[in-house]
Structure 1
Amino acid sequence: MTTPSSTALNEQTQVSLRKPGKLAVLWSDLKRDRVSWMFLAPFLILFFVFTVLPVLTSIGMSFTYYNMMEPPKFIGLSNYKLLFVDDDIFLKAVGITLKFAFITGPVGYAMSFILAWLISQIPIKYRFFYTLCFYTPSITSATAMAVVWLYLFAGDRKGLLNYYAMKLGIIDEPYLFLQNIHSIVPVIIIVSLWMSMGVGFLAFLAGLQNVPKDLYEAGSIDGIRFRWQQLFYITIPAVKPQLLFGAVLQIVSSLTVFDVSLQLVGLPSPLYAGHTIMTHMYDYAFIKFEMGYAAAIAVVLFAMMIGINRLIFKWLGKD
């Protein structure tokens, strides 16, 4: 004789047995939204081929010895052991890169937002001119910019800074800005900050110009009177998506500094004073042709980016 409780249990068991699995649900969702997936397909295919696949290939290659002349040979964790235990230049490059990132990242980020905010305060007819002036250095090649900065920081009497410093009696002999190990990183930081007004700057400017005017009117009714009050209580909360986007771009550009260092101080730089992670990877990949070791460096850099970006998402992306 069956009891009501056992009957209910049997019915629940039958329902659970009839419940489709996750793959069936996924296939059903794909068929239902097939038109949307067709529109997304071009991006997803390109993203997989040019982003996901190279990352997976680099991770796999990092466990091999590959010199481009012979097939890759699996060597396990040897590349990572060499990287963190025996490669003193890499450890120095990590320190220089982090020092560079912790200075240029926040400073460049703040400069981009402040300049975008100031430009958004001026009349519309003048905004294009100022935007062009600040954005142009970021789209100029590092080689072209290096011509100007090499003339400015040249270590002879014809260098612009040395010429005026000696003329004013500040120094008695030319200072070797690009050869002195104590001034190489500051010079790279200055040049990088000059070129940091890129896509993040434009994103800030676009976000600031699209803040609803009603918010400012409501703020004035609630007692907000000054621009700095509008900035902290209305503008910054309204442009959080652009702040997150700019932060991610700034982190990536700070950790992947390469062209500026290469053009200003060469490869290798004096006593590796301007050696960054990207420079180290370029050295092993395209000069020494040790692709397995270069892939290990790329994986470490990728992990650093992912870790810092997760912190940024936790801070700015929670809304």
Structure 2
Amino acid sequence: MNQLDVALDQPMINVERRHRDEWSLKAKIMKNKTSYIMIAPYFILFFLFTVLPVLMSMALSFTNFNVLEPPKFIGWNNYVRAFLEDDVFRIAIRNTLIFAVITGPISYVMCLLFAWMINEFNGKLRTFLTLIFYAPSISGNAYVIWNYVLRGDRYGILNGILLALNIINAPIVWMKTEKYVMTFLIIVQLWLSLGTGFLTFIAGLQTIDKSMYEAAAIDGIKNRWQELWYVTLPSMKPQLLFGAVMQITQSFAVADISIQLAGNPSVNYSGATIVTHLMDYGSIRYEMGYASAIATILFLLMVGSNKLIGKLLRRVGN
């Protein structure tokens, strides 16, 4: 067979292969149709309320849309405006990156270490400690507590302590002083960070087969840190990845902490984040096209960070 015959036969081979793959897919679907029927309600809801809104937001990011009038296509103008014309957005993205780089890794390590230590306890004590550490993340009074701690007069807890110790001579309005805002937002975020990721790590630790530790001891594991690196962490990679996604999402999507403690807008936008800027344009100004562009930028930042963390986690235990 010469090269011309091979070239003529190639399209037919590709068509036959495509038909064979289609029949194989149909056969798999029919074989597992019960499973597909069971997941269909979740898939439909997930598509309608998660995937579709994300796709619509990306489409609207290329338009000028004020809700009252039909969207008008303007190309990349919203993105050019964000990076080249919007000074507040540049401050917000800088604050968000600082916030994410500091709180993301620290809160992730905190969740893992606290979960590892608490898992060493048994029974009711472990349950009690888990509740104590998890409670701040679900407490509706968290901001009330911190507003009282950071109150700007002599009756605030922090001011009262510092005045009593003669460290300061007059009360400081902490959350209205630019140089203190980001520091306290980071501290509060870390205090609230033992949430879903923390519970996921505890659940993952409790599912590890204890016989693996005995086998590791026979193979030469000599201390608890080697045990953690070579046995514990590789055995809970799914939980590690899920926890990383949750911590990254929390660190990039911070907004409530800034609004509740520093106000919106904060002094000189020192507490502004991408999400507070997004809320400003989406919920107050109703510039939905520009707000969608901001949301798309945030989405791409999160996806890129998750991809990077996923690659790093695959090296755990190697």
Q: What TM-score does the superposition give when structure 1 sets the normalisation length?
A: 0.91
Give matches, 1:1-319, under 5 Å.
Answer: 18-21=16-19, 22-141=21-140, 144-317=141-314
Letter in 2 for 1:259: D
CA distance in structure 1 between the aligned counterparts of 2:110 and 2:58, rounded to whole angstroms: 35
* Residues 168/20 of structure 1: CA separation in 2 closer, same or farther (3 Å cut): closer
Alpha-carbon distance in 2 for matches of 1:273, 1:137: 25
- Give the drift of 1:235: 1.3
CA distance in structure 2 between the aligned counterparts of 1:107 and 1:55, rounded to whole angstroms: 29
What residue identity is the alignment partner of 1:52? V
Give 1:152 shift. 0.4
- Report the Cα distance in structure 2 between the residues aligned to 1:7 and 1:279, rounded to whole angstroms: 64
Q: How many Å apart are 1:123 and its aligned residue?
A: 2.1
Task: Out of 218-227 and 53-62, give the one that drifted further.
Answer: 218-227
Residues 1:210 and 1:10: Cα distance change in structure 2 (over 3 Å): same
Q: Identify unmatched segments of 5+ residues in structure 2.
A: none
> Contact 1:179–1:270 at 8 Å: present in 2 too?
yes
Q: CA deviation at 1:207?
A: 0.8
Which amino acid is 2:196 matched to?
V
In structure 2, what is the Cα distance between the partners aligned to 1:52 and 1:156?
Answer: 47
Runs of 5+ unmatched residues, structure 1: none
User: Structure 1 residue 195: deviation in Å?
Assistant: 0.7
Return closer, same or farther for 1:38/1:172 CA change in 2, 3 Å cut-off: same
CA distance in 2, matches of 1:185, 1:15: 62
1:279-316 deviations in Å (ceiling 9; x for gaps): 00000011111111100000000011111111112222
- Residues 84-115 of structure 1 deviation map (CA, whole Å, 9 limit, x = unaligned): 11001001100000000000000100100000
SS in structure 2 opposite 1:169?
A: coil
- Structure 1 Cα separation of the partners of residues 167 and 11 of structure 2: 88
CA pair 57-159 structure 1, distance change in 2 beyond 3 A: same
Partner deviation per Cα, 1:55-93 (whole Å, 9 max, x = no partner)? 110011111111122221221111111111100100110
Whole-angstrom CA distance in 1 between matches of 2:9 and 2:286? 66
Mapped partners of 1:213, 1:234: distance in 2: 10
In 2 relative to 1, CA 11–266 (structure 1 residues): closer, same or farther, beyond 3 Å? closer
Which structure has the greater CA radius of gyration? 1
**Residue 151 of structure 2: SS of its match in structure 1?**
coil
CA RMSD of aligned residues (A): 2.5
1:140 Cα offset (Å): 2.0
| Cα distance change of structure 1 residues 43 and 222 upon mapping to structure 2, 3 Å threshold | same
State the SS of the aligned residue for 1:178. Answer: helix
Using the alignment, how far apart are the partners of 1:219 and 1:28 within structure 2? 43
Structure-2 change in CA distance of 1:128 and 1:181 (3 Å): same
Is 1:208–1:239's contact at 8 Å kept on the other side of the alignment?
yes
TM-score by length of 2: 0.92
- Partners of 1:241 and 1:317 within 8 A in 2: no
Say which is worse superposed, 223-232 or 209-218, in terms of deviation: 223-232
